[in-house]
Structure 1
């Protein structure tokens, strides 16, 4: 990994300068703001969580100098939230992406980059060695809560980069504690009792690959509908497993993955922290 030549303090000052509020343009005519249309909502429909796969200095250099950007960068030591792009501006963090009927999510999302080193790719798969410090996750939870409240972001639209671009991305990876976001009331989580009830039947017989593809698409993933366990389908299953069953994320269909998919895609199967069913 290349170390940035900029001192950390200089980087932070440059970062803060980027977030300065723009003044109204001088050529704007006088405005009458007494009326407001009923048919409107926030530009922000999604919150996308990433991992930088670099240290802080390199992450900040990449996100402020290069062709990619993010609205926020969350460091770990000490846990600090840096605003790099105003929320009313589009940041270039999602790339080619989709979730459900939405595509090109740069235009409809706020991106949060969380500083965390790159995973190690071995012959047997992906190993994400570095855990996310609790203080850093606490900062992420507070940030997500604030963004979601101010923009009215639906709880099921707080997603991973690997959710919206599973063929290209694996971040924020299996170490990211999505269950903590669920426990904080930010995202829905599958009903554990329902998953336990469904699992024995799937241990007896797994559904066909086409069933997995259909359920993954119903959840929101862009996934082939070929009926074949091809490389693209394996990557999508792995992305799903990293979020909801991070003890094993090899992309192979199994009984627990089937039970989770069944519950998540059944009305009432996703619960909020208080035990109430999530309603889109």
Structure 2
């Protein structure tokens, strides 16, 4: 009996071993190398235009909704490496935009002759100078592709030192004097001069797609040290007649004004939490202002600059219900 069981077990073991030998081991397939085309596919683009002065690309291929633009308004500048050739086979890349992000308006506080001399022979400059003559001329002083020295120490929102990314327009205007009370007395701009500035600003802002929040006065970007172009520059007309820059909506402003005069405004206006709120709103809007919770010199000068631009009837640097309402309306419109 035992011998029989031994023989049966041995047969089963041999059968099992034999079946194991017939099992094929599965081996993972080796990846097949794909041939990479060494020459990238060229997206068809308009030809670069060439004249005697250089190459130009005059069609925008980038996403204008993102403020991107591939157009060149001047000749294309490229390298000339010794022994090599730079080609425009893949020009232009879509990922680009203009350096010219801001348009800053100034006055010279000088007459025509002195303005020209100072802006062309000394350490300050601007891209354009609008003279005080009733003619059709506007003076180009600095190539738009280059940096002019017009903004100095400056800031708006997240940007600082705006010479790097702005175009400056200087307007011949005598600036201001002070009366016996210390009030600044400014000089209005003639109609012909305003129309020159407006036409020039419209052309620049359109070409470089400069947003409304970035069309500013020197006093906006340097409120503690500059007053130009002052309260007589017609920002409201620039907005309504040329669709440039910022302005508030009157019904919205009026609603905020009604809330202010029907509230405890007079008792709150000099409290630290309220002042901090005003400073925060001015800062969020764009002005470079420390948040101190006090009516300090920087805050008063910033309010004065704000009034030059948006409330030119009163520019005393004091927050009244009208100024407060305008600030809130603008803050809502241009977040």
Q: Which TM-score bucket, shorter chain as reference?
A: 0.7 to 0.9
C-alpha deviation, 1:202, in angstroms: 1.3
For 2:185 and 2:225, the matched residues in 1 are separated by 17
For 1:57 and 1:205, the matched residues in 2 are separated by 53
- CA pair 22-32 structure 1, distance change in 2 beyond 3 A: closer
Aligned residue number for residue 65 of structure 1: 121
Query: Is residue 167 from structure 1 mapped to residue 224 from structure 2 by the alignment?
Result: yes
Give the secondary-structure state (helix, strand or coil) at the position aligned to 1:262: helix
Alignment equivalent of 2:258, drawn from 200, 216, 230: 200
For 1:260 and 1:150, the matched residues in 2 are separated by 30
Aligned residue number for residue 238 of structure 2: 181
Query: Is residue 91 from structure 1 mapped to residue 148 from structure 2 by the alignment?
Result: yes
Give the secondary-structure state (helix, strand or coil) at the position aligned to 1:265: helix
C-alpha deviation, 1:145, in angstroms: 0.8
Aligned residue number for residue 18 of structure 1: none
Give the secondary-structure state (helix, strand or coil) at the position aligned to 1:53: coil
Aligned residue number for residue 304 of structure 2: 238
C-alpha deviation, 1:161, in angstroms: 0.1
CA contact (8 A) 2:78 2:86 kept: no
Aligned residue number for residue 249 of structure 2: 191
CA contact (8 A) 2:100 2:166 kept: yes
- CA pair 66-200 structure 1, distance change in 2 beyond 3 A: same
Aligned residue number for residue 221 of structure 1: 287
Which deviates more from structure 2 when the two are superposed, residues 32-41 or residues 155-164?
Answer: 32-41
For 1:244 and 1:140, the matched residues in 2 are separated by 18
Normalised to the residue count of structure 2, the TM-score between the two structures is 0.71
For 1:25 and 1:61, the matched residues in 2 are separated by 33
Give the secondary-structure state (helix, strand or coil) at the position aligned to 2:184: strand
Aligned residue number for residue 131 of structure 1: 188
Aligned residue number for residue 209 of structure 2: 152
Aligned residue number for residue 52 of structure 1: 108
C-alpha deviation, 1:38, in angstroms: 1.6
Structure 1: 5+ residue stretches without partners: 1-20, 271-279
Alignment equivalent of 1:118, drawn from 175, 183, 189: 175
1:251-262 counterparts in 2 under 5 A? 251-262=317-328
- CA pair 235-152 structure 1, distance change in 2 beyond 3 A: same
C-alpha deviation, 1:137, in angstroms: 0.7
Alignment equivalent of 1:109, drawn from 166, 172, 189: 166
- CA pair 26-241 structure 1, distance change in 2 beyond 3 A: closer
Normalised to the residue count of structure 1, the TM-score between the two structures is 0.84
For 1:248 and 1:23, the matched residues in 2 are separated by 48
- Please say which structure displays the higher CA radius of gyration: 2
C-alpha deviation, 1:220, in angstroms: 0.1
C-alpha deviation, 1:31, in angstroms: 2.7
For 1:253 and 1:243, the matched residues in 2 are separated by 14
Aligned residue number for residue 143 of structure 1: 200
- CA pair 92-125 structure 1, distance change in 2 beyond 3 A: same
Q: Deviations over 1:97-134 (max 9, x none)?
A: 00000001000000000110120023332110x21011
Query: Is residue 31 from structure 1 mapped to residue 86 from structure 2 by the alignment?
Result: yes
- How many residues get paired? 248
For 1:196 and 1:181, the matched residues in 2 are separated by 21
If asked which structure has higher relative contact order (CA below 8 Å, sep 6+), I would say 1
